[in-house]
Amino acid sequence: MDNAIYFYSGTGNSLWTAKNLARLLGNTELIPMTSKKESIISLNAERVGLIFPVHMWGLPLHVIDFVRRLSADHAKYYFALAVNAGQVAATLVQLKKMLQEKEINLSAGFSICLPSNYIPWGGAIALEKQQERFSDSLNKIKFISELVRAKEARTPEKGPSWQNVFFSALYKMGSPRIPGMDKSFWVDAKCSGCKICEKICPTKNIIMSDGKPTWHHHCEQCLACIQWCPEEAIQYGKNTATKKRYHHPEIKLPEMLACNIRQNR
């Protein structure tokens, strides 16, 4: 394969982005970011991409863990796509710095804006608006595929400076609290005991007990459990019961489950 793309996704936006970029590039292997001890990029691929969502104006804990364990060939062309809902902030700068510590150069970093999955702040946006974002992003992914094919260098995209300073401070304060933020999840009477939440969780943070999910405080806040529950029985805090759920409409549950089985290998 000429190209390898490592991806992480809670609700399918990053997977959809990775699949489209792989299709446009051709000859590309798509690989879930694993939770295995070593994450080694020792492929024959010339170009290596990382695609993931933005969480709290920065890198998700899963991606930080993946990059820390990365042992990679410095000579390859590295690029990244940070998938977000309008506030990429300094996420790609954070990634560039982390890679630099490993003497890996992130040659290019791009922001892709798709619908938000952060249900505590609002439910799914209207279908028309979702379609607009899909079509704008597809155009941008086409443009990115040409740059990546030519191995062009591009400064990582970022938000306005004042936002980056403010949001980076919030990220530093907030990210250590992420594993315990699952204390706000609860399950209502609609739960059928289907175990999808247990299977889809990338950190094995959900364990079924008496036929209902329980959360065990090593959460990554990917929101896969609440967004993929077929009964909409999972709630977060006080105000999610009436909010519309979201996952990318072209990504189906079996595909997500297959990725997570591989992510957990």
Ligand X SMILES: Cc1cc2nc3c(=O)[nH]c(=O)nc-3n(C[C@H](O)[C@H](O)[C@H](O)COP(=O)(O)O)c2cc1C
Binding segment toward ligand SF4, per CB under 6 A, in 23-31, 39-47, 195-203, 240-248 = 195-203
Distances (CA, A) of 225 to 111, 119, 138, 159, 206: 25, 12, 27, 29, 9
Q: How many residues does the chain have?
A: 265
Choose which of 219, 251, 256, 259 interacts with ligand SF4 (CB under 6 A): 219
Q: Is 86 in the site for ligand X (CB under 6 A)?
A: yes
**How distant, in Å, are the alpha carbons of 154, 187, 217 from that of 26?**
21, 43, 40
**In Å, what is the CA distance from 186 to each residue of 90, 119, 204, 233?**
32, 14, 17, 8
The answer to whether 83 contacts ligand X (rule: CB under 6 A) is: yes
Q: Which stretch binds ligand X (CB under 6 A): 10-18, 39-47, 67-75, 136-144?
A: 10-18
Under a CB-based contact definition with an 8 Å cutoff, are residues 111 and 79 in contact? Answer: no
By rule CB under 6 A, what count of residues binds ligand X? 23
- What are the residues whose beta carbons fall under 8 Å from the beta carbon of 176, sequence distance 6 or more? none
Q: Does 33 bind ligand SF4 (CB under 6 A)?
A: no
Q: Look at residue 13 and give the partner it binds from ligand X, ligand SF4, none, a contact being a CB closer than 5 to 8 Å depending on partner kind.
A: ligand X
Binds ligand SF4 (CB under 6 A): choice among 21, 182, 240, 263: 182
Footprint of ligand X on 104-133 (CB under 6 A)? 114, 116-118
